[in-house]
Amino acid sequence: MKIRRKKRAIILAVLAVLLLGAGYFLYPIVRYSVHNYQEFQRIPDELSLDIPFSYDGYFSVRCTIDGKEVNMGISTSGICLMKEEDLKKYHAIYFGRAPLPTRNVRGQWDWLRLYRIPDFRIDTFAMNPLFASVGKHNYMHLLVGDSVFEDNIFQRSKRIFSVKEGQMYVVIALDEAETDIRRDNLMGNGVLGLNIMRQCNWLFSVDEGRVRIFSVANDKRLEQESKGFHKIQDGLEEEGISARLGSLKEDLAFSLAIGVDAEVIVNNEVSAQLKKRYPYKVILTLRGDNSIDSLFVFDGVPVVWDGITIPNCQITHSPKFAFNKNYFGAQLMHRFNFILNYSADQGDNLYIQPGKDFEQQRAMPIISVFGLNVGEREQGIIVHRLEPDGIAEKAGIALGDVVLELDGRAPKASLTSQDFIRYTADKKEIRLRIKGKGEMRLAL
């Protein structure tokens, strides 16, 4: 009898532990989903905003926090992000931990803390999105906020379940790619992620430089706005885009990531095929953890998407990128007017329309004409990108070199890769004073 009671007690104890464990993991998921659903329900059917957007390799819009205008980048994957110190500055209120831990492209796991900002508006419309706090211990702290974003390809989050109109996405992502494709200035004061993007339809008119935001329930408005557009059914889903690159015979699956400052990013297998057919450059990149990555760049490759031929595209590949997938980035989408149509009933669809000058547009340069890029790091302005056998490397410049002067002047602390590329674009010669090496002249 005593043995039976003991067994029963053990079984009950195990069940209690399991129930407590399930509650511990399920509670954040349910709470997060309910919050997003409540926010979705607050969107009036007649919502109509028409605001300008900025573009510098990525899309951003002006928002208002605590009565102050701030610039926020746009991402079609991952959750809203903001630096920990910025959330404190805006008096953000702690909401709870993220539903699931996140894993970045380095394979590092982190459990994000979520906050809500009491006074947040897009144009005149008040919203209450949850922002993931990016602490100083996280690599993304270097990439988000007032200082920066060196190429975010937020790993697209996995859908868990639907709650009527509002679908819940788990936050599985901090590095929308960390592929270090080209720049160091992210999206202003943070990122507007999927948990806010899914609340509305977003029409980006590249021809007008404006974005129109309206309710997902306004089918009549969508029908009117999408006239003349190509509908990509489920184009906002994971690998929901089908397109062909250059002379490759088969169509490939792509995911949309307009938070990434690039045209097209490909996986290992596609890169191997392209190397057999197209010339390419190799560019070395020094990461924040002092590891070195190689970036393969294919220029002038056409892309055929839903019957539309997009000429002279730039394809990039980073072998160390942990997520072996293909992406269409912001620079490709800037050739189009496009609509992000989030609808649980009819799929998450993408509408595209070639812009007025979409054939003339080209990707922004990845590296300067002198074969190097510089940017801000803890030790100062350093050389963080180098072309093997390029002008800079032949002159004796190496990755990690600290730049003390540029053409006789100390470089600005806020100097970014694109600032440097623009500055050197029309020059035949530049002078760099390198710590420990003295002045070095680079000439074309």
User: Which neighbouring-strand residues pair with 317?
Assistant: 296
pLDDT in tens, 139-172: 555 555 443 333 332 333 333 333 333 333 333 3
Closest to 340 (Cα-Cα) out of 437, 209, 229: 229
- 253: CB partners within 8 A, 6+ apart: 239, 240, 241, 242, 326
Task: Determine the topology of domain 25-215 in CATH.
Answer: Cathepsin D, subunit A; domain 1 (2.40.70)
- 171: CB partners within 8 A, 6+ apart: 78, 79, 98, 99, 100, 102, 112, 132, 157
Which of the four pLDDT bands, split at 50, 70 and 90, describes residue 103? low
Instruction: Give φ, ψ of 434 to 5 degrees.
Output: -105, 135
Instruction: Give the H/E segment covering residue 180.
Output: none
- The mean pLDDT value of the chain amounts to 82
The pLDDT of residue 62 is above 60: yes
For residues 428-438, average pLDDT: 94
Tokens of 279: 């010339």
Strands (E), 14-119: 48-55, 59-65, 68-74, 80-83, 93-97, 102-103, 109-110, 113-116
Superfamily (CATH H level) for 372-443:
PDZ domain (2.30.42.10)
Cα–Cα distance for residue pair 320/323, rounded to 1 Å:
9
Closest to 432 (Cα-Cα) out of 401, 391, 404: 404
pLDDT higher at 101 or 73: 73
pLDDT higher at 293 or 343: 293
Closest to 90 (Cα-Cα) out of 49, 46, 133, 125: 133
Cα–Cα distance for residue pair 271/326, rounded to 1 Å:
10
- 298: CB partners within 8 A, 6+ apart: 274, 278, 279, 280, 314, 315, 316, 317
CATH of domain 233-342: 2.40.70.10
Which of the four pLDDT bands, split at 50, 70 and 90, describes residue 121? very high
Per-residue confidence (pLDDT) for residue 173, from 0 to 100: 40
Tokens of 239: 């690998």
Q: Where in the chain is the domain with CATH 2.30.42.10?
A: 372-443
- 183: CB partners within 8 A, 6+ apart: 57, 149, 150, 151, 261, 416, 417, 418
Report CA-CA distances (Å) from 256 to 154, 185, 216, 263, 289: 10, 21, 19, 11, 28
Task: Calculate what percentage of the chain has a pLDDT beyond 70.
Answer: 79
Tell me if 178 sits within 8 A of 106, measured CB to CB: yes
The listed range with the strongest mean pLDDT (3-12, 170-179, 242-251, 417-426) is: 242-251
For residues 347-367, average pLDDT: 90
Instruction: Give the H/E segment covering residue 6.
Output: helix 2-42
Closest to 257 (Cα-Cα) out of 340, 330, 319: 330
Helix and strand numbers, DSSP H then E, in the chain: 8, 31
DSSP state, 402?
Answer: B
Q: Where in the chain is the domain with CATH 2.40.70.10?
A: 25-215, 233-342
Annotate 38-60 with DSSP letters as a single string.
HHHHHS-TT-EEEEEEEESSSEE
Residue with structure tokens 């970045």? 104
Per-residue confidence (pLDDT) for residue 433, from 0 to 100: 95
Residue with structure tokens 């029409």? 203
Tell me if 285 sits within 8 A of 100, measured CB to CB: no
